[in-house]
Amino acid sequence: MNHDIVRTRIEPAPSGSIHVGNARTALFNWLFARHHGGSFVLRVADTDAKRATEENYQAVLEDMRWLGLEWDEGPEVGGPSGPYRQSERFGLYDEAAQKLLASGAAYRCYCTPEELEAERARAQSEKRAPGYSGRCRHLTPSDIETFEAEGRASSVRFQVPEGRTITFHDEVLGEMSTELGLTPDFVIQRSDGSPTYMLAVTVDDLAMNITHIIRGNDLVASTARQILVREALGADGLPVFAHLPLLVDDKGRPLSKRWGDVAVRAYRDQGFMPEAMVNYLALLGWSFDDRTNIFSTEELIEKFSLERVGKNPAAFDISKLEWLNGHYIRGSHPDAIADALVSFCVRAGLPADTEEGVSILRRVTPLLTERMKRLTEAPPMIAFLFGGVEPDDKAAKALDGQDDYLRELSDRLASLDEWTTTSIEEAMRALAEERELKPKKAFQPVRAAVTGTLVSPPLFESLEILGRDETLVRLRRAAAK
């Protein structure tokens, strides 16, 4: 087939937010297509009606757009090979199944679930590899007539040729070979008429002229079967295959919901930025050199190649993702971070989605960027700017015996000609010097009284943002208590 015009694809199943492994696969496909000036196709594997809800479908599109992986063809964009939801392509899959039946490459299987389970149990007891025996391969017309009269449902199985070896080149793994002697005949269409993955993916890859199949290593075992179906459907040549290394956790286990959050949405909700997530996902199984970890999207497009994809499993390291996230927080315009913080603050119960709330965020955000690794760290630090506070245990301890000091400080602050960070700092340092107090001893009670905690943005700047009236109210209230 013609590989001059690169066409890649991703086909997530809409069962909720995209798994980070699928997001990494989508990113590599997107980068490869962009690097070569080709097309990136999004199609949605929504053949499972129980899981493929409209909400889950929209979540897939939202995750892709949040990551910045806009597609050239697919849902809501269109293209010459649509529709791009597999639930709307059943007629194409049935047509392919009928073609394979007519050519003898496939046959109808009338085995009941109970019969298939008995086969599996027998193979297990005899310590044989499980797999379909091929018992329906050679049914006579009389057998078929009998089963049809009984009302038996039938699936369609692909007839795997015997004594053949399938060989293909993988851009990551090298030369790969599969001997078909141990490959059982496999179902391509279920008894309800729905396609299996093997039929749907092959039909769609052919119809959409996909030139490069870049996917996870867990699917490498299915490649030989996919090649068989392609051949039987009359495909001319093979696409380029590239199977990406497995993602594992810090203990070397395949990344799974059993071990923690694995969905893109979970990391988004935890305060990670899309730029950091894209940069980090690119480093999972790919590297440009041993020194560079930070790449803009433009740099990734320029430098990405399949030759630099590794074979070994890639460990998902949350601390490295946090480090990258901190880098992107510090490197972003404070107003952009302030806008991103609105939703996190609202979720924490702070009225940050008002005109006044946004104004407060834009003023305080420059004080936060050096202190955050995640956007979720902001709301607790700035809650004092959105309403009254009650000192936590540590703050209450810092206030013990400080009533006289807080009263005098409030009087001095009340007399300031202007309410600025500089004038506030000068007044507070002057009082501390008169009382021979070290900065920590002088400023901690003020922080405790005003913010309700001992951890906050820089104190003098925070007081300016809070305002003279509210600052004095809180200092005097703490002194009175």
Please identify every residue annotated as catalytic.
Answer: 257
Helices (H), 36-112: 54-67, 90-103
Closest among 157, 141, 160, 161 to 149, alpha carbons compared: 141
SS3 268: helix
Q: Report which DSSP code applies to 106.
A: E
H or E element: which one contains 167? strand 165-170
Write down the residue that tokens 């015997």 correspond to.
162
CA gyration radius, the chain? 31
CA distance 144 to 154: 10
Place of tokens 């030139």: 211
Let me know how long the chain is. 481
Across the strands, what pairs with 73? 41
**C-alpha torsion angle, residues 24, 327, 69, 263 (rounded to 10):** 50
**What angle, 0 to 180 degrees and rounded to 10, lies between the N-to-C axes of helices 468-480 and 459-466?**
110
What whole-number distance in Å separates Cα of residue 145 and Cα of residue 223? 35
